[in-house]
Structure 1
Amino acid sequence: DVYLSNAKSRWGSCNSKKEIRLNWRLIQAPPHIINYVICHELAHLKEMNHSNRFWEEVEKVLPEYRSSEKELKTLSSDLYLIG
């Protein structure tokens, strides 16, 4: 299941029940950033941690994920201005 969240410090999360939550503020982000967050959370369905295997799963789908991750950190404060 996928839900929207109003989290104040996370863009997404995935729990052991395989529920994914995405911060509604992502709607303001560029599409490639949204894709990165979704890919990141989907990778947690295979690896619930941030191990090397987790990042390998992300990289299979988004080889350029590092630049998106860095850009999201830069954009975060602006995206959180709303709400």
Structure 2
Amino acid sequence: MSSLPYLQGYRPELISQVKELIETNRLRSVLERRYPDSHTIRSDKALYDYTMALKNRYLKKSSPLSKVIFDDKITLKKQALGLHSYVAKNHGGKTKSKNEIRIAARLKEVPEPLLRMVVVHELAHLKEKDHNKAFYQLCCHMQGDYHQLEFDLRLWLTMLDLEAQEKG
């Protein structure tokens, strides 16, 4: 339990509180009380529609999206929770570019606000490529409690990992 990979960089006091929740077997109950329902977005089409609704609400004039999918190749500990890619292909002297968003397939099983936070994060990359102040301001514009949701998602993933270790 000493290693909490999703919580690297957080204040020691916060890590201590999380460890206490883990030691007293209360992490799941705290998170389920905060997020009692899972989302129903299970297919790539549903994820695309969900993402486009957010994009059309907050980023109407941003670059178009060509693909939004759940990707089972994204490993959460090694990579981000989602990936935004800008693909430029040269075909017959013409350059075609596409924006794609890939969300870790493991996020099919999280509460909707946590999925929304990841989608908002990836959408923000349509306007801001780097994780700078403007990027996080845009995330907070689209999702007011963005930072809390990001932390809670990291807690949720920590909980899932700990439960998998207990079973395995």
Normalising by the smaller structure, the TM-score range is 0.7 to 0.9
1:11 equivalent in structure 2? 81
The structural deviation recorded for 1:63 is 1.1
Shift of 1:36: 0.4
Alpha-carbon distance in structure 1 between the residues aligned to 2:125 and 2:118:
11
- The question of whether the paired residues in 2 share the 8 Å contact of 1:39 and 1:58 is answered with yes
Computed over aligned residues only, the root mean square deviation of the Cα atoms, in angstroms, reads 1.4
Paired residues, number: 80
Q: Hey, what does 2:117 align to over in structure 1?
A: 36
Residue-by-residue CA offset, 1:12-63 (whole Å, 9 max, x unaligned): 0101231100111111111100110000000011111101111011011111
Q: Would you identify which runs of 4 or more consecutive aligned residues in structure 1 move more than 6 Å?
A: none
Match of 1:71 in 2: 152
TM-score, normalization: structure 2? 0.45
Gaps of 5+ in 1: none
Give the counterpart letter for 1:42 in structure 2: L
Asked whether 1:22 is paired with 2:22, we answer no
Q: Distance in 2 between matches of 1:73 and 1:33?
A: 9
1:3 CA displacement: 2.1
Question: Residue 36 of structure 1 contacts residue 68 of structure 1 at CA under 8 Å; is this kept in 2?
Answer: yes
Higher RCO structure, 1 or 2 (CA under 8 Å, sep 6+): 1
Structure with higher Rg: it is 2
One-letter code aligned to 1:28: E
Partner SS, residue 47 of structure 1: coil
